[in-house]
Amino acid sequence: MQKMEGINHWLDVLKQKSPAGYAIGLHIEYNAPKLQLETYPVAWVNHYEKKGFFLSDPVVMWGFQNHGTRRWSELAEIDTRGVFVDAKSFDLNYGFVASIEARGSHTIAGFSRTDREFTDTEISEVCEILLMLHKVDISVLKISDSQKILLNELANGGRIEDVSARLGIPIVTVKSRLAAVKDLLGTRTSAEAVQRAADLGLLK
């Protein structure tokens, strides 16, 4: 069983280097990432999904068609639906896209700041971290049967108290198992743990 300690460290670094948030789609196949990591504000994510911006997002469009990096300000001409304009109302004022193709796999990511453009050095540093994440073999990540049962219960809307009663185990045991699986998956909340396990195909 492999923990995501290394990934967690670099994600913490990315939070510092991209203070307004980021979205990373790792190992994209058939337009869907094997693992998606996101720290953009929830309000922006909800607005983005409600507007159906994905297919017209300049970050996504440029990332699928190119490799390398581009600042958002350089992609204004392909922002036909005003994604960047709307993003500014959520304080996502500056950013860049990074697109990596390596080992037969594709990763696309967007990074944002509120205060100023990213410098060339900052973009280079972020891309080095992104390449490290891209090289991680996420397919070796495993969770135990008891953790899988717990996450499935939570995915079906169960609360900790309900899960405790249904599985016949103490609440403290449920909390302990949940803490362990959140640490394993590199997530902060139960919802994130469920989503990441689902993204990785671990709940099947």
Share of the chain above pLDDT 90, in %: 55
* Residue 75: predicted pLDDT: 98
Domain count, the chain: 2
Q: Specify whether 126 is located in the same domain as 165.
A: no
Choice between 184 and 108, residue whose per-residue pLDDT is larger: 108
Domain extent, residue 162, equals 142-199
Q: Specify whether 124 is located in the same domain as 42.
A: yes
The pTM is what? 0.73
* Residue 138: predicted pLDDT: 63
Task: Quick: pLDDT tens for 71-124.
Answer: 999 999 999 999 999 999 999 999 999 999 987 889 999 999 999 999 999 999
Helix (H) or strand (E) holding 108: strand 105-113
Q: Specify whether 146 is located in the same domain as 74.
A: no
- Range among 134-138, 158-162, 193-197 rated most confident: 158-162
CA distance 169 to 81: 51
Q: Specify whether 90 is located in the same domain as 159.
A: no
Decide if 121 is inside a domain.
Answer: yes
What is the Cα 53 distance to its own chain's centre? 17
CATH number of the domain enclosing 90: 3.30.450.80
Q: Specify whether 97 is located in the same domain as 29.
A: yes
DSSP class per residue in 41-102: -HHHHHHHHHHT-GGG-HHHHHHHH--EEEEGGGGGGG-TT-HHHHHHTTT--EEEEEEEEE
* Residue 63: predicted pLDDT: 96
| Mean pLDDT along residues 140-158 | 84
Please, are residues 1 and 183 in contact by the beta-carbon 8 Å criterion? Answer: no
* Residue 137: predicted pLDDT: 67
Q: Specify whether 124 is located in the same domain as 163.
A: no
Question: How much is the mean pLDDT over the chain?
Answer: 88
Q: Specify whether 52 is located in the same domain as 131.
A: yes
| Mean pLDDT along residues 154-180 | 90
- Please report the sign of the dihedral spanned by the C-alpha atoms of residue 43, residue 50, residue 18, residue 180: positive
Q: Phi, psi (5° rounding) for residue 83?
A: -60, -45
* Neighbouring C-beta atoms of residue 36, cutoff 10 Å: 14
CATH number of the domain enclosing 186: 1.10.10.10
163: helix, coil or strand? helix
CA distance 106 to 29: 8
Task: Quick: pLDDT tens for 20-51.
Answer: 999 999 888 777 787 778 889 989 999 999 99
Q: Specify whether 113 is located in the same domain as 83.
A: yes
What is the Cα 1 distance to its own chain's centre? 21
Q: Specify whether 32 is located in the same domain as 79.
A: yes
CA distance 46 to 203: 25
* Neighbouring C-beta atoms of residue 63, cutoff 10 Å: 24
* Residue 136: predicted pLDDT: 75
Does residue 1 have a pLDDT over 60? no
